Amino acid sequence: MKRFAVIGTGSFGYYVAKALYENENEVIAIDRNKERVQAIEPYCTSAIVQDVTDIKALKALGLDEMDAVIVSTGENIKPSILICFHLSRLGIKRIIVKAEDDDHGEILKQLGATEIIRPSMDMAEGLALRLTSPNILEFLPLAEDYTIAQVNSPPSFIGKSLRDLDLRRRYEVNIIAVKELVPGRFVMVPSPDFTVKDSDVLVMLGKKADLKEIKELK
């Protein structure tokens, strides 16, 4: 189980928090608006009413223990800038922030944001890509209990070849690609001799329950 904090539970933050929680993650939702906090409360681990533009209030929440902090504070860019700055000072390793425009995004990067999200632009680009370069999966609907997932290499996989792991027989899943951070490439349908590294991300096809079991391996 991973741990996330979502700061700002407007439309975007609400759905991010809800989706993370429904995927069996621990989620702390934070907003200074009491009504928004009450709305997200059934869909998160804990919901907190707090103005976290103050670094003391932010520090008291213990967000340094989170796998990532997602910031989505609306059209007023000042709160997101302050929060991003404070999170960086607190040593948060993964800070994901929703930006209103390119300039806002660049400022956030300079202040320590590790990832910038532009929901409307990302959605538009994704739609354009699907319309102009349709993916084969659009013509091959998956059964309800099957999915494709990206899985960080479990420690027990590291240093072993795909042949040795024999995942198809052991877990009934198939590795259809590997995202290598080192040397930085995308390997489609890796060979059985491919050796898994701790920096690899495995792209797997299989039943949701089987993929969940692999994600929980030590």
Report domain extents, the chain.
Answer: 3-123, 142-215
Q: What is the pTM of this model?
A: 0.64
State the average pLDDT for the chain: 87
CATH no. of 142-215? 3.30.70.1450
* Predicted pLDDT at 8: 94
pLDDT digits (tens, 9 = 90+) for 201-212: 899 898 888 888
pLDDT at residue 138 tops 70: no
pLDDT digits (tens, 9 = 90+) for 157-194: 999 999 999 999 999 999 999 988 877 788 999 999 99
Phi and psi (nearest 5°) for 117? -120, 130
* Predicted pLDDT at 136: 47
CATH superfamily of 3-123: NAD(P)-binding Rossmann-like Domain (3.40.50.720)
Number of H helices, E strands in the chain: 9, 10
Is the link from the previous residue into 183 a cis peptide, with omega within 30 of 0?
yes
- Across 92-130, b (16+ Cβ under 10 Å) vs e yields beebbbbbbeeebbebbbebbbbebbbeeeeeeeeeeee
**Do residues 1 and 25 lie in contact, with contact meaning Cβ atoms separated by under 8 Å?**
yes
